[in-house]
Amino acid sequence: MSFDWRRILWRGTGHAIAPAVALWLRHRTRIGKEDAARLPERLGHPGKPRPDGMLIWCHGASVGESQALLPLLQALHEQRPDITLLLTTGTVTSAALVAKRAAPGVLHQFVPVDLPGPVDRFLDHWRPDLVLWSESDFWPGILSNLHQRHIPTLLINARMSERSCRRWAGLPDTARWLLQGFAAVYAQTAQDAERLRRLGVPEVIEAGNLKHAAPPLPVNAGDLADWRRKLDLRPLWLAASTHGGEEVLVAEAHKRMKGRHPDLLTLIVPRHPDRGPEIAAELAALGLHSVLRSRHETPDAQTDVYIADTLGELGLWYRISPIVLMGGSLIPHGGHNPLEPARLGAAVMFGTHMFNFTEVSASMLQAGGAVEVPDVDALATQLVALFEDQKRQRTIADAGQAYAVGSADIIDRLSQAVLAHLPPA
């Protein structure tokens, strides 16, 4: 099937399912996964006027992708303040983080759903001169529309796992159709580049991982000093960005360690803060006493677990926690970015399900900058070992930090490559 036929099929199907998608968006709004006040943006209705002059549209699907883009947008803004930078994301959480951390001059909108009407309205209003698409969030309608309108589009920080590559290889014509519209592709690793070439991308540049170059997560200095005073005398560790099913494993590890360290405090930062009360109930059923940050509660001597169920404070918890377990890795979720705690000097641990960070996690293990724990037995054993061998804990933390900050020049290289696709000021 030719490119035109695929586009016609997308448009016809999209118009047919548009009413169902509108109902789906309303349902997501009711359960807190959409911003009711900004729901029209998801249907392509702009929330802001388009400034005059050139505009670069950058898309990062969720928290990790958008957070990795922010330093690049900062560099682009500093080098070309005459260009408007529009950043789209698809989740409420990522929108809140962008509002806190984006550089001056960066506009945020929710990405339109991949239907003809919303996409047409979005592109008709914003009229981007260049588009930066991040990682592997491929939307056929949007990408084909950009190609049809001859808007140059770059795939940056491109990621392609072996599993995804095999899946796309089963649909070779569709893969080529999706990927042919990119004027240039900048891959995170040599492995990502090789997989993209297998799918028919003729030229892929191995540029490095933007997440390596991200600045340390921010922190309020007053909060940091206050919490260090509160917790100075207690051994503690952090389970960060946890998902359902992981907190009970963390609780089991805590219980096993408590015999050797009776004053141990475990911190849990759930990936979705609204799960805080649910987690507290699970822990109570296991005989553990927990308190929640969302209720402005403070851990005392009887507290086993402190649940930091608020948004945007990982920079605080990473700085006060000498040992950090990355959530999403004890269950088959794919893990979360281990570079963030490593960059701040924590000894990092993760489970075996790090397939969203395959190369990063493997490289950290090879460099001695992380510890893999396949199950709760290994987690408890390694935690005890690290608590009781401060020298080994520090060695792992130092190696992880060295790896995490080793690719900082990617921002300069990639910003120059992006601006080369635009006319000079």
Query: Known catalytic residues?
Result: 65
C-alpha distances (whole Å) from 365 to each of 168, 306, 352, 362 are 29, 29, 12, 5
Residue 421 φ/ψ region, left for φ over 0, alpha for ψ in the -120 to 50 degree band, beta for the rest: alpha
**Residue 300, amino acid:** D
Radius of gyration of the chain (CA): 23
Asked whether 180 and 202 are in contact (CB, 8 A), the reply is no
Angle at 354 between CA 367 and CA 381, to 5 degrees: 70
The DSSP 8-state label assigned to residue 88 in this structure reads: E
**Which residue in 61, 64, 159 sits closest to 113, CA to CA?**
61
Token pair 């990790």 is at which residue?
A: 64
Three-class SS of residue 184? Answer: strand
Q: Are 112 and 119 in contact (CB under 8 A)?
A: yes
Based on DSSP, count helices (H) and strands (E) in the chain, helices before strands.
19, 14
CB 89 within 8 A of CB 61: yes
Phi and psi at residue 213, in whole multiples of 5°? -100, -5
Q: Note whether 13 and 113 are within 8 A (CB).
A: no
Alpha carbon distance 340, 405 (integer Å): 10
Coil, strand or helix at 157: strand
Residue 118 contacts residue 43 (beta carbons within 8 Å): yes
* Whether 318 contacts 344, CB under 8 Å: yes
Q: What angle do CA 58, 59, 62 make, to 5 degrees?
A: 140
